[in-house]
Each structure stands twice: as structure tokens, then as C-alpha cells.
Amino acid sequence: MNIIERVGRRAWQLGLRSLVALAVALPLGAVATRGWAEPAQPVSHWIAATGASPAQVGLVAVPVTGGPPLLEWNVARALNPASTIKLLSTYVALNVLGPEYRWVTTAHLGGRLSDGVLEGDLVLRGGGDPKLVVEDLTEFIRRMRAAGLREIRGDLVIDDALFDLRAEPGQPIDGDASQPYNVAPHAALMNFKSVRVVVKPAGGAAKIALDPPLADVRVVNELSVQAGACQPGSLALWVRDTAAQAEAGSSAAASIRVGGRYFPACGEQGIYAAVLSHRDFIHGFFKAAWQTSGGVIRGKTRIEAGAAARLAVWQRWESPRALWEISQDINKFSNNVMTRQVLLGASATPADPASPRRMREMVQRWLDSRGLHFPELVIDNGSGLSREERISAASLAQLLVHAARSTHADLFRITLPQVGIDGTMRARLQRHPLAGRAWIKTGSLRDVKSIAGYVDAASGRRYAVVMIINGEKISGAQPAQDTFLRWVYDNG
């Protein structure tokens, strides 16, 4: 049974023959349509509704089977695509690694194991798994326990040699490191370096818990508890490592401060937050799960690149999710750190660790090898969480047409949010005939709103569509994009 059958999707037989290059030679701001009266009118109305200037909008609708664009505007202009750049990242990864690729994390014994006691370190070599979550770690630990390990008298050592991120500072895009979308990649990423901070009423006070729990992490409660009826409130989360932790390198000093207003009358509330450094998160996450299994660990956690190289593999964890499944998580729900993990992993070789520079070079080599020449393309981290990334509507549409003609055409398409059905497009156009007949990736940053994907028009013809809007006051962007999609459906 093939991949498409496993996800219950009918394979589309496109019968594609030849790729017709997108026409990008029109003057800036020009419009081409297929013979409608007043051709500029719909586009000019849409642009006016977005709040952006004409030069800040690029859009195109082109049949994937070839032929002239149905509609285009400002197609050659390099614009910030936000998360629609994930289409390029996941398509490249699917081709470089293969859709069935799975990540492997290995455990190594840095000492003698006797009667359940390891006299030495337990070494975990990170394999770049983008989704090693609590259920995975729990099962991995169960296997270690079943193999006879009960007590670790040394340290937990994390071998992060797969990624070399020293040249990437990893600063959050908006200055708030507690936002899960700002998590930086790591060779041994666990649970997205994020927890749910749960607040519950406790008499006239508030009780805070972390889900999943983190061992050796002190939670400082700075909530302002409000009396009276439940009112819409907010929790503000601050995360920092203490000075003692920084000086001594001890994970036991890690702390999380939680503040904001809380109404006990509202009952349980929670927010998701990225907390601690990768090392301290792994320490708390692994130790809590190890202790829950009945195990004992005596030491601290440290990072040591290459620590596993001299040790035999003792236990092996293979991700239960293949790349094609991970690509659905990435595109349907726009997960940034998963995108970065996948793209970095695709650039790693046995001899050289992955780095942002190598990743960018790998992407460019792959595009060149397929005849996809995007001279305006700027890749920063590949997730769209960047002010630097740039691509034109023409190039993004050309990528979509190329994907529609590829071996992975159907597999790639169903990684995108299905309009009116799931992902970031679940609540849009639910009552329109487009629902279920379009697959659209969304992108959103401050001053950026973008969409890109496929529309099956009423005629039965499939179109690659892109609309990128950049501008400071673009509150009307989403309605204009929905109007564009409806127009393609009606006129394609």
C-alpha cells in the first residue's frame, strides 16, 4: 500500500506533459488575464482592500498543466513570503531525504552496566528529530529500562555534533523567547523545548504546574490573584536562567517565573511556552521521565559534541513519524522549529555537521539541479520566521508547478492545509464550493500576509496560486486573499 493510500487520499492522475515557464516580463504592476473586460479592475480592488500599495503585492494564478497565467500582478518583485517559504523547504527536503525518511536518536553507555547500575555516563546522540515528544521519550526510556538500566551514576551527556549552530545566534524575531514559535533548532530537540504552564485555583491562591513536568526546575509564582467573577485575563510568562546556573553549569538552578492576572473563578487555565536553554530543558524533561519510570539518575546534564563517536550504540530510537507525516505538521500548522530541523538535517553529511550556511548552499544546489532559477531568492532559516527571506510570486508559483509535475505531487499537495477542512485554513471559506477543493499554505508576520498553494477551479482545472502582501497597514489582507481564491475558482 502506498503513502497516499495510507492517509486515505485518492491519487490524482494529472497526465502532465510539459512545463510552460511563467511569464514574468510584464512591467511592474502590470496585469495579464484571459480575456475578461476591464482586466485590472479585480486586482486593483483587491489591492485597495488590503491596505497595501500596488508595489507591495505580488500575485499569480497559473494552470499546473501549462499555459499562460490566468491572472498575475507584480510577479517578479522580491517580497517577504513569511511561512509560505515552508513550501520550498518541505519540497526540497522531500526530494533530498525521501518521504519515508526517519530520524534516529541513539543511546550509548559511557561505563560498565552491572546489576542495573551504570557506573558512568549515559550518552544520547541527537539525530535532529523534529518531533521527539513526551510519548516518544517515555517509550525510549521503557526500552532502556527493559534492557537492564535502572540507575545512572554518571551524567546525562548530549552529543549535539549533528548541527553546528555557532554562527546562528537564534535571537527571537520579536524579542519574546518564551513564544514556542521562536524555539531555535537543536540536534537533540525534545518536546519543542516547550511546556504547557497550567494554573489552577487553590483556595484563594493559584497553583502552577508544568505539563510535561520538568525535574530540578523551580517555578516562581508571581501571579496576581483576582477575586470575583471570571473575567478574561492573561498569563504573562518570563523565562530566565539564574546566575548560579550560568556560573556553575548546574541544571538544578534552573527557574521559571510566571506572572500576570489570574481569576480562580475561571478554573484551570494554561498557556504554552518555550522555557530554559536546550540543555536545561533536556535535563528536566529526561530526568522527570526517567524518575517516573522508577529509574535513578545521580549526575547533571552536559553537552559534549562527539561524545558518542567513541562508543558503541546500545539502544536506538527511530522516529515513528516519516518525513511525509512531519511535512504535514509543518505545512498545515506552520511549525517553525520543525521546518528548521528538517532543512538542517537534509544538509548534514556523515563527514560534516549541518549549519545554516550549508543548508542554504544545499537548497540552492538542489534548485539549480532542477532548473529552478530564482535569482531574487533569499533563504535565511527556511521557516519564514525572518525579516530577510525573499521570493517572488513567480518563483513560488514555478516551484508549485514543478511540484505538481513531480513524483511526489499528491503527497506534497496533501501536506498543505485543505481549505475549510484543516490546518490554518480550517475556518476559512467553509461555506464556499472551494472547501475541500483547495490546498493553501498561509504565512503571517507583522507587516506580511501570504498564501500559496493549489485551487481546483469549477472547470476542473488545477491552478497554482500565490498572493504575497507586504505592508504596515494590511488589515484587509485576508479578505482580499479569500476573494482572490474565489475568483480563481469561478474563472479558472
With 0-12 / 13-18 / 19 or more C-beta atoms within 10 angstroms meaning exposed / middle / buried, residue 423 is: buried
Instruction: Say how far apart CA 141 and CA 325 lie, in whole Å.
Output: 24
Tell me if 305 sits within 8 A of 160, measured CB to CB.
Answer: yes
Closest by CA position to 198, among listed 212, 183, 182: 212
Between 37 and 159, name the one with better pLDDT: 159
DSSP H or E stretch at residue 458: none
Q: What is the percentage of the chain residues whose pLDDT exceeds 70?
A: 87
Judged against a pLDDT cut of 50, whether residue 21 lies above it is answered with no
Please state, in angstroms and rounded to a whole number, the distance separating the CA atoms of residues 53 and 191: 41
What's residue 427's pLDDT?
96
pLDDT at 24 over 50: no
User: Domains plus CATH for the chain?
Assistant: 3-100+323-491 (3.40.710.10), 103-320 (no CATH)
Task: State pLDDT tens for residues 433-475.
Answer: 999 999 999 999 999 999 999 999 999 999 999 999 999 999 9
Q: For 290-315, how does the pLDDT look when each residue is reduced to its tens digit (9 = 90+)?
A: 999 999 999 999 999 999 999 999 99
What is the C-alpha to C-alpha distance for residues 301 and 284, in angstroms, rounded to an integer?
A: 9
pLDDT at position 354 over 90? yes
* pLDDT one-digit tens code per residue, 210-267: 999 999 999 999 998 988 898 776 666 665 555 334 434 444 568 998 988 888 998 9
Report whether 338 contacts 150 (CB < 8 A). no
Angstrom CA distances, 249 to 161, 188, 262, 274, 321, stand at 20, 18, 34, 20, 34
Which helix or strand (DSSP H or E) is residue 359 part of? helix 356-369
In this predicted model, what pLDDT tens digit does every residue of 179-200 receive, in sequence order?
A: 999 999 999 999 999 999 999 9
Answer yes or no: is pLDDT of 356 > 80: yes
**Are the C-beta atoms of residues 463 and 457 closer than 8 Å to each other?**
yes
At residue 415, the pLDDT reads 98
Say if CB 214 and CB 284 are below 8 A apart. Answer: yes
Question: Within 13 Å, how many C-alpha atoms sit on residue 108's CB side?
Answer: 18
pTM, rounded to two decimals: 0.89
| Residue-level pLDDT at 13 | 30
| Among 446, 424, 473, 428, CA closest to 86 | 424
What b-and-e string marks burial along 467-492, b requiring 16 or more CB atoms within 10 Å of the CB? bbbbbeebebbbebbbbbbbbbbebb
Q: What percent of the chain has pLDDT over 90?
A: 78
pLDDT at 235: 66
Residue 35 has pLDDT above 50, yes or no: no
What letter represents residue 344's amino acid?
A: L
The whole-number pLDDT of residue 240 equals: 58
Structure confidence at residue 7 as a pLDDT band (50, 70, 90): very low
Q: What pLDDT does 239 receive? A: 57
CB 201 within 8 A of CB 226: no
Cell of 305: 559534541
Q: Which of 90, 17, 41 is nearest to 452 (CA)?
A: 90
Report, as an integer, the average pLDDT of 162-179. 80
Q: Tell me how far apart the alpha carbons of residues 55 and 49 are, in angstroms, rounded to a whole number.
A: 14
User: Ramachandran region of residue 38, left (φ > 0), alpha (ψ -120 to 50) or beta?
Assistant: left
- Residue 448 and residue 474: Cα distance in Å, rounded? 8
Q: How far apart are the first and last CA of the chain?
A: 34
Give the model's pLDDT for residue 178.
86
Gap between the Cα atoms of 361 and 14, Å rounded: 32
**283: closest CA among 263, 261, 264, 299?**
299
Q: What is the pLDDT of residue 169?
A: 63
